Chain A
Amino acid sequence: MLNIIWAAMLVASFVYSFFAGTAAEVGASVFESCTNCVSFILKTGSFMVMWSGFMRVAEESRLTDKIASLMSPVIGFVFKGVNRGSQEAKLISSNLSANMLGLSNAATPLGIAAMKKLSEKSRNNVATNNMCMLAVVNCASLQLVPSTLIALRSQAGSASPADITVPIWIASAITVVFAVVLTKIVEGRDRIG
């Protein structure tokens, strides 16, 4: 998919620039983009590296497990038939807590493990309600510290790069609640077979 989108963006820009008389600007932009990307990697990327260091400390001190256990009462409510203390519940809450801390390297394998566990109840490769719910909840990002964005904003010269944190919490919380309610309304009964 990105293959087509990327090619279309490039080709359309070049073709359009000939008609709009901006061919020189587009030519110059290519070189500029290269240095922009490298400076992005150096400045924003270095912050991402540091953050991933602290997140590993959080992981090894089992802080993620603590957040996960705080979340477990909600899990049973959102995922029907997933009992507290079951392996599914543990995997789902670890996946969500890793997401909240922005540990995407840890969150994806946990999410996949949770998905596989949930898929044991599915028939004929049809997703169960709980599988759909897990995917939807993972698509609605909930992040405590938007570290990459803060770094990107500070690199762009923001006076207060972190002042987007509270609005992000509010927007994410509303979105997650909406996504869960919507999925519950739409899902209907599990199709078996």
Chain B
Amino acid sequence: MADIGSFVVPAMILGIMIHALCHRVDVYSAFTSGLKDGVQSVFAIFPALFALFIAIGALRASGLVELVVAWISPLADFVHFPSELVPFALLRPVSGSGSLAFASDIFATYGPDSFAGRAVSVMMGSTETTFYTTAVYFAATGTKDIRHTLKCALIADCVSMAVSVAVCRFYY
């Protein structure tokens, strides 16, 4: 069952290609124009990513991450949450680039196929940059009072983090 994922990317590509050919889409020019967009969006995140790679690299090298992890671990152990993932979980709703840089740091420290590596992947994949997303949507409509939105979204984030860890324990 663990291997279903490995078929997702090739199956998606094949499905998209067949569907597009059946609909007589000019696949080559669509693909290349998509690449152009992709290059632009990668360049768009580059400055933020660079800044956060440096900050998280420094945080890790200084030993501050370990200090925070050691400090928080009694509480994290109490709720059966891996303490080495707490700093990531705190940064996740605030910064997309930051959490990407942090995930990369956790892969480098513990390995992508370790429990921490897998759990951080699932957390990353099942949550969003909550503060950014709500800010973008409500700024567009000029909404001043967003009522229960942030509360619900942040509680959902916490649940998502806990569920991610639980699913990893159960699945692997």
Contacts and interface: CB of A to CB of B under 8 A. Distances in A.
Contacts of B55: 6, 9-10, 13
Interface in A138-174: 138-141, 143-150, 152-153, 156-168, 170-172, 174
Nearest to A29: B61
- Counting chain B CB atoms within 10 Å of each CB, the highest count among A58, A182, A186 belongs to A58
Interface string A1-32: 11001100110111011001010011011101
B163 interface: yes
B83 interface: no
B148 A13 contact: no
Nearest to A116: B141
Interface in A21-45: 22, 25-26, 28-30, 32-34, 36-37, 40-41, 45
| Chain B contact residues, majority secondary structure | helix
B137 A171 contact: no
Contacts of A134: 137
Interface of B: 1-6, 8-9, 12-13, 16-17, 19-20, 22-23, 25-27, 30-35, 37-39, 41-42, 46, 48-64, 67, 91, 94-95, 98, 100-101, 103-104, 107-108, 111-113, 117-118, 121-128, 130-131, 133-134, 136-138, 140-149, 151-153, 155-157, 159-160, 163-164, 167-168, 171
Given A63-B19, A156-B111, 14 more contacts: A57-B25, A61-B30, A126-B147, A131-B141, A132-B147, A139-B134, A140-B153, A145-B8, A147-B9, A157-B111, A160-B113, A167-B118, A168-B122, A168-B125
